[in-house]
């Protein structure tokens, strides 16, 4: 009898592994569809708070139907993201075009060129006194942004326009039903789990969606705040022009989404682009190269300090209800495992793990300390939406 019980357990494990393997193969084969579903989930999580806010607005005691609010919120989110991309791309192309027209280094300060060349001769082995570091750099930029490379890039972009259109339609279509029916995803998952844990799974999915929705909205607000502060500093202080300042500011804001590494890349790229504008286009504050670079760096560093000490603590503590130290350790571990992709997915994945642990292992002391009490707040928000729609 005992031997039969062990065989049954072994058979159960083998079936589980087999099913898991089949699911993994199906996900890999239909990776594009899976990506559309994931993006639709993210869009729906960002759109749900908008539906919640708009549902409070009523005219003569009546509010707009849920399907209309859902569609409008999704289009608003996707349209806003596309507007950011449309704003950034022309600025980058203009700066690249200006850099490609560098013909010599006469616009640069001669003393700076001598300093850089002298440093290269003294540090790099095999470099003679006639070496011109700045000319090498400008020639490299000219080659990198030549007309053929830009044309090839545009051709590659044109070749995937149809795929992007299909993907965009799929994301809008799927996310519409996720927003319109808040419990749709939990119903799908609940249909494939045992009845004994169906209620716990449904509750866990609701808590996960609630926390991730607040997190993604917080990330968007953080990105916009960083972009606005950088724009004001670059426009009013560095004086590089409103259009260029807006594009560079949004580039820094988008890169800021990448934890720790992104802000550093954004600052370095911002300083480089501003220097190209000043000595390629001739716009910017009328100071020498070192002071101008220091001013731009100080502006972007100041914005980053505001983000680190004001925005991030508020977002992490109020959205996913985790301490900054907790988040820091999680991001470090995820970065070590999966690099930048791992750092981007660290907080959402950690949120999912925390909620699952709180739903099924709440008797453990460490889980009780890490899990927030979010159920009452989430239920209250759902009740408000239902009352308003009625």
Does pLDDT of 271 surpass 60?
yes
Contacts (Cβ under 8 Å, ≥6 apart) of 214: 49, 318, 319, 320
Q: What is the pLDDT of residues 166-209, one digit of tens each?
A: 878 888 888 888 888 877 777 777 777 777 777 878 888 888 88
Q: What is the pLDDT of residues 96-123, one digit of tens each?
A: 665 555 444 444 444 455 555 665 656 5
pLDDT of residue 233: 92
Which of 245, 234, 240, 251 has its CA nearest to residue 280?
240
Q: What is the pLDDT of residues 367-376, one digit of tens each?
A: 666 665 544 4
Structure tokens at 327: 């988040």
Share of the chain above pLDDT 70, in %: 67
158 bridge partner residues: none
Q: How many CA atoms lie within 13 A of 109 on its CB side?
A: 12
Greater confidence (312 vs 76) lies with 76
Which of 82, 56, 64 has its CA nearest to residue 172?
82
Dihedral sign of CA atoms 339, 37, 214, 323 in order: negative
Q: Rounded CA gap, 317 and 325, in Å?
A: 11
Question: Can you tell me the mean pLDDT for 281-302?
Answer: 85
Q: How many CA atoms lie within 13 A of 98 on its CB side?
A: 18
| pTM for the model | 0.67
Q: What is the pLDDT of residues 207-237, one digit of tens each?
A: 888 888 888 888 888 888 999 999 999 999 9
Cα torsion 227, 231, 233, 234 to 10°: value is: 120
CB 346 within 8 A of CB 259: yes
Does pLDDT of 381 surpass 50?
no
pLDDT of residue 303: 92
Dihedral sign of CA atoms 374, 377, 380, 382 in order: negative
CB 315 within 8 A of CB 219: yes
Share of the chain above pLDDT 90, in %: 5
Tally of CB atoms within 10 A around 26: 12
Q: How far is CA 29 from the centre of its chain?
A: 26
Q: Rounded CA gap, 210 and 189, in Å?
A: 16
Contacts (Cβ under 8 Å, ≥6 apart) of 309: none
Q: Rounded CA gap, 235 and 285, in Å?
A: 10
Cα→Cα distances 284→40, 73, 156, 242, 356, Å? 42, 39, 34, 11, 53
62 bridge partner residues: 59
Q: Rounded CA gap, 25 and 31, in Å?
A: 10
Tally of CB atoms within 10 A around 90: 11
pLDDT of residue 298: 93
Structure tokens at 113: 């060129």
Structure tokens at 306: 């505001």
59 bridge partner residues: 62
Which of 27, 34, 38, 371 has its CA nearest to residue 216?
38
Cα torsion 329, 335, 341, 347 to 10°: value is: -10
Q: How far is CA 49 from the centre of its chain?
A: 18
* Length of the chain counted residue by residue: 390
Dihedral sign of CA atoms 342, 344, 350, 352 in order: negative
Instruction: State phi, psi for 66 to the nearest 5 degrees.
Output: -60, -40
CB 357 within 8 A of CB 370: yes
The mean pLDDT value of the chain amounts to: 74
Which of 352, 349, 350, 342 has its CA nearest to residue 258?
342
Greater confidence (281 vs 331) lies with 331
Residue 86 pLDDT level (bands cut at 50, 70, 90): confident
Q: Rounded CA gap, 95 and 272, in Å?
A: 10
Residue 131 pLDDT level (bands cut at 50, 70, 90): low
Q: Rounded CA gap, 244 and 233, in Å?
A: 12
């Amino acid at each position: 009898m005992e031997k039969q019980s062990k065989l049954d357990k072994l058979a159960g494990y083998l079936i589980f592994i087999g099913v898991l393997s089949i699911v993994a193969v199906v996900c890999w084969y239909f990776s594009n569809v899976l990506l559309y579903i994931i993006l639709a989930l993210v869009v729906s999580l960002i759109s749900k708070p908008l539906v919640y806010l708009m549902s409070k607005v009523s005219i003569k005691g009546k509010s707009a139907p849920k399907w209309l609010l859902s569609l409008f919120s999704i289009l608003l989110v996707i349209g806003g993201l596309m507007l950011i991309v449309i704003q950034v791309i022309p600025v980058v192309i203009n700066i690249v075009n200006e850099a490609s027209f560098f013909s010599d280094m006469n616009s640069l300060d001669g003393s700076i060129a001598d300093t850089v060349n002298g440093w290269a001769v003294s540090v790099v082995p095999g470099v003679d006194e006639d070496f011109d570091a700045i000319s090498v750099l400008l020639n490299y930029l000219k080659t990198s942004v030549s007309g053929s490379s830009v044309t090839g890039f545009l051709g590659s972009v044109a070749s995937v326009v149809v795929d992007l259109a299909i993907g965009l339609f799929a994301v809008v279509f799927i996310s519409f039903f996720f927003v319109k029916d808040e419990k749709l995803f939990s119903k799908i998952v609940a249909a494939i789990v045992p009845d004994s844990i169906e209620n716990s799974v449904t509750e866990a999915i609701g808590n996960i969606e609630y926390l991730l929705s607040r997190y993604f909205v917080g990330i968007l607000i953080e990105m916009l705040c960083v972009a606005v502060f950088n724009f004001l500093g670059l426009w009013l202080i560095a004086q590089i022009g409103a259009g260029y300042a807006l594009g560079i500011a949004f580039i820094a804001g988008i890169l800021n989404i990448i934890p720790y590494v992104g802000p550093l890349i954004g600052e370095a790229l911002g300083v480089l682009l501003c220097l190209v504008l000043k000595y390629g286009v001739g716009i910017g504050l009328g100071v020498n190269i070192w002071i101008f670079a220091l001013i731009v760096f100080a502006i972007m560093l100041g914005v980053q300090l505001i983000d680190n000490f004001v925005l991030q603590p508020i977002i992490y503590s109020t959205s996913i209800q985790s301490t900054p130290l907790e988040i820091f350790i999680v991001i470090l571990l995820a970065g070590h495992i999966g690099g930048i992709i791992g750092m981007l997915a660290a907080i959402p994945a950690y949120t999912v793990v925390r909620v699952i642990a709180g739903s099924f292992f709440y008797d453990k002391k460490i889980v009780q300390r890490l899990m927030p009490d979010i159920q009452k707040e989430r239920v209250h928000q759902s009740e408000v939406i239902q009352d308003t729609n009625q």
